[in-house]
Amino acid sequence: MERTILHSDMNSCYASIELLYHPELRGHPLAVGGDPEARHGIVLAKDQLAKKAGVKTGMALWQARQACPGITFVHPRMDLYLRFSRMAHEIYSDYTDLQEPFGIDECWLDITDSCSIKGDGKAVAEEIRSRMKRELGITVSIGVSWNKIFAKLGSDYKKPDAVTQITKENYRTIVWPLPAGDLLYVGRATQKKLAKFGILTIGELAQADIDFLQRVFGKMGAVLSVFANGLDQTPVSLENTEAPIKSIGNSTTTPRDLTCDRDAAIILTLLAESVSARLRENGFACRVVEVSVRDNGLYSFTRQRKLQMPTDITGEIADAAISLFRESYGWQNPIRSLGVRASDLTDPLTPFQLDLFLDQDRRDRLHMADMSVDSIRRRFGFYSIQRGIMFYDRALSKLNAKDDNTVHPHGYMERGNRTGADGAKADESGYATAGRR
């Protein structure tokens, strides 16, 4: 039985959600990102009006203002966008439990088994599109095909608020004339390399000799050939087995240059508190902790460590970050900026192998203590309860990392085809700093 795969993409996701809460801004160009007051940060998302004016994701705010003088910037609210993502998945779950997120705003759905009840792929896509608009107030573009790659091309083909069906009868007409760069995992460098050999469209890539592609791109050459010919058989993963985002982190430029391990530990603990609180708030645990460091000479690096078991416990994330920092930096210069990121996210209720040398009862108590701190802070404010280390330097500990400085969740396709010849294309949920820099 031939598969029926949908790819649903929320149109201008962040900006569309913000317009629901700021209806007075409708009809005016809008972008989400950075600190509009301080003119710091980058554009994370933009609406159709800003896009038409030349505003692009990743632009500095001042560049966006130059391209579109009448633009309005709003501060990002990632927790709100995650809530809408969860509500979208609740709608998808009425049609299938085979849901694979591609960031916050995109998702593949395998509706093969429900087509006999719900109707064919296009009918289901139209129903989902109508429900998203009616129940959530946002529009989606949906691609319908027999494989994930062409389904995604379908959702990109016509925007906003549209359904495009790509079949075995019409794919040569719809897909093959498209630029090679439109194919998932054909980045700019790969597109340039293909162009050197006269391969400009997906059709030309599909018809290129596979041995030649493998000589030029290695194993990825064969993968691109499979994608272009519609032969991808990658399955859509089961609902809740993949997180809609792959990492949550925070970074900050510190109130003053840091000059010793204690200074760094204060900031890293504050950032770890923010990261762990967001993990708990959104129902994730992490298996990898990463620190990023930039000194006042603008030298920077990142280091990461895999944890023994998934965690959302502040102390465990802070200890891992502080240990990584001490092992990696020798204080050649004072520190100007630090970041902590939790990645390789999973559901905290996912079963895991217990460790004989770890006290799981103590870990459970620490988790409950963190939940209590979260509750107190929600009710009485961030500064109502603080860790003892914060009293070593009250100037440094004034940072409210959770509310003031957000490194937004990073989304990318992890399952099946892990990396492209030069990396996957960025989407609205890409890793981007929107706080003070």
Residues with catalytic roles: 106
DSSP reduced 3-state for 359: coil
Across the strands, what pairs with 101?
107
Report whether 238 contacts 350 (CB < 8 A). Answer: no
What are the tokens at 191?
């597109």
Alpha carbon distance 42, 309 (integer Å): 34
Kindly tell me the number of DSSP H helices and DSSP E strands found in the chain: 16, 13
Alpha carbon distance 258, 295 (integer Å): 9
Residues sharing a CB contact under 8 Å with residue 83, sequence separation 6 or more, in sequence order: none
Which phi and psi (to 5°) does residue 255 adopt? -55, -30
CA 108 to chain centre: 15
Report whether 42 contacts 61 (CB < 8 A). Answer: yes
Report whether 98 contacts 115 (CB < 8 A). Answer: no
